[in-house]
Chains A and B, each alone.
Chain A
Amino acid sequence: MKDNKFVFYLLIPTLFFITFFYVYPTVYNIFNSFTDLNLFKLRKGGNWVGLDNYIDLVTDPEFARVFFNTTFWLTIVGVFVRITLGLLLAFLLNSDTLKKYRLTNIFQLLLLIPWATPSIVAVVVWRMILDPQVGIINQIIIKYGIGKEPIAFLADTSFVWPSIITIITWNTLPLVTLTFLASLKSVPSEIIDAARVDGANKLQQAIYVKLPHMVPSIIIMVLMSTFWTFNNFVFVWLSTGAGPGTFTNVMATEVYLKAFVDGRMGYSSALGIVMATIMTVFGIIYLRLIIKRNLKELF
């Protein structure tokens, strides 16, 4: 019993923040999602409308677009690109050639640079790089005759998603790569030697020996990248403002637009609850995984 009391003291600060920052807003949003609360009629309060907001949501064609953008572009494409490039880069950094010339450490250091660049700065500098007038990419395109007209990367519907994915990938790739590199370095050398003795070439060693060993960290990184991008507001909002039009509107920006532009707080809450529910499902998978793999002895 004495132990329980001491543990409680240790958890007080954390529980305080969790309660006010996560539990209270969730309860508030669940309640609001059943009302027609409007930003411009806040004093009037909201009337109980039952499931109307949720029904509106599934029948709204804009929601279909928002849902597709969030799951397909932002999450599936975004995460796939990051994981693939992260793996390739980790193998490159860990290659015998770079080790031989003692370049692994210096490149690992350089890799921290995009990560240490605040995301807001990442968006600003990439908007300059992708700018139709002053951006270096368009200067190269014009100079070497790759295209005749400069491309408005963040306003042209055929380029805007790849551009956003590029910005996010650049900023978040280092963490993924370093995690994979750490996992790659922890592959026991006896297994690799054994494979080499059996005549496996470098590619075979990578695919059949090293990659299987990295599966746990790949799964964890897939889940973590999913949380970080599915919920992300800043990258899309600052890169394109959900535009052109609402072409790149995602769930986080739609929650914002519905609440603060259209004033439909109730609808916005319903959307937020849908978001949180989807993420909780992923969250529980993630939780079971980390507890089973890393923290088994704790419970």
Chain B
Amino acid sequence: MVYEIAILLLAFIVFLIIIYPTLWIFIASFKTEETLFSNDHSIYTLDNYFELFESGFGLFIFNSFYICLVSVLITIFSSVIAAYAFSRRRFRFKIFSFGSIMLGQTFPWIILVTPMFILFAKLGFLNNHISMIFCYVAVSLPFSIYLLVGYLESIPRELDEAATMDGCPQFQIIWKIIAPIMLPGIIVTAAYAFLLMWSEYLFALAFLTKTNLKTMPLELYAFFGEHTTQWGQVMAASALTTIPTLVLFLPLQKFISEGLTTGSVKN
């Protein structure tokens, strides 16, 4: 009994520490500079949010959403067909191409900045969302393919082999038979890719200099640098950056655990 209480107490303390920072973002975002540290809990206000939107923060939310959604769609399309090829087909240079793609996971992004900057400058893609979409798809592809190949391996081959024998056109097999079965895997991959892109800072910093094109992380940090003492507004901006990923992730809990089990840790 004492043992049980000790475990429960430990668990509650650990999880309080774990969720405290995110919780604090939301609490602080409803407080003003004056009330931030008072213990009077009756004075919550939406002023921070109103001021943020008045200063045009909505545009950055839109930019981020637009870039991330397009990038996730391209990532999913590319990685589903690639994962199908790796999982179900035999072809020349298979291990070499799979290995090269996987090594993308280990690649230091920082060394891409200069060459990509020069390439984008030549193509006229600087200060253009195309360059961001290109980078975001490229950085999320290796891990997405890894997750999806792992997931596909857990699906019996008989399912799609039967369809092949029925003479179903090959592309249709992927979209009509394979994709629906691997939906949990696709959802996890999409959520993972979205989070990666949504919080990306380095490429946005390097390739977007026009204010009206900037993404949320970039603007959040710029805002933080300029208004270090206006914690209320900084926290409101942080809260707005966090809400979409929370809304996306929490309902997917079951899928994420499932995707992790079958994907990366299959023993």
Contact check, A178 vs B257: say whether CB atoms are below 8 A apart.
yes
What's the A-B contact tally at a CB cutoff of 8 Å? 283
Contact check, B221 vs A179: say whether CB atoms are below 8 A apart.
no
Contact check, A3 vs B90: say whether CB atoms are below 8 A apart.
yes
Most B CB within 10 A of own CB, among A8, A103, A182: A182
List B residues 58-93 near A (Cβ within 8 Å).
74, 77-79, 81-82, 84-87, 89-92
Taking CB atoms, residues of chain A closer than 8 Å to B134 are 17, 20-21
Taking CB atoms, residues of chain A closer than 8 Å to B109 are 231, 233
Q: In the complex, A27 Cα to B126 Cα: how many Å?
A: 21
Q: What are 12 A-B pairs with beta-carbon distances under 8 A?
A: A29-B115, A97-B3, A115-B195, A116-B248, A121-B238, A121-B241, A121-B242, A124-B234, A125-B21, A251-B108, A290-B146, A293-B267
Q: In the complex, A139 Cα to B24 Cα: how many Å?
A: 15
Contact check, A276 vs B111: say whether CB atoms are below 8 A apart.
yes
Which A residues are within 8 Å of any B CB, using their own CB?
3-4, 6-8, 10-11, 13-15, 17-18, 20-22, 24-26, 28-29, 32, 89, 92, 95, 97-98, 100-101, 103, 107-122, 124-126, 128-129, 134, 136, 139, 170, 173, 178-179, 181-183, 185-186, 213, 216-217, 220, 224, 227, 230-231, 233-234, 238, 251-252, 255-256, 259, 265, 268-269, 272-273, 275-276, 279-280, 282-284, 286-287, 290-291, 293-295, 297-299
In the assembled complex, the CB of A281 is this many whole angstroms from the nearest CB of chain B, namely 9
Contact check, B257 vs A282: say whether CB atoms are below 8 A apart.
no
Q: In the complex, A255 Cα to B134 Cα: how many Å?
A: 22
Contact check, B81 vs A276: say whether CB atoms are below 8 A apart.
no
Q: In the complex, A112 Cα to B234 Cα: how many Å?
A: 23
* A20 and B119 in contact, given A121-B25, A259-B114, A279-B108 (Cβ under 8 angstroms): yes
Contact check, B265 vs A14: say whether CB atoms are below 8 A apart.
no
Contact check, B11 vs A17: say whether CB atoms are below 8 A apart.
no
Q: In the complex, A117 Cα to B19 Cα: how many Å?
A: 10
Q: Does B18 lie at the interface of the complex (its beta carbon under 8 Å from any beta carbon of A)? A: yes
Taking CB atoms, residues of chain B closer than 8 Å to A178 are 256-257, 260
Q: In the complex, A238 Cα to B222 Cα: how many Å?
A: 11
Q: Does B49 lie at the interface of the complex (its beta carbon under 8 Å from any beta carbon of A)? A: no
Contact check, B249 vs A112: say whether CB atoms are below 8 A apart.
yes
* A272 and B261 in contact, given A97-B8, A114-B18 (Cβ under 8 angstroms): no
Q: Does B163 lie at the interface of the complex (its beta carbon under 8 Å from any beta carbon of A)? A: no
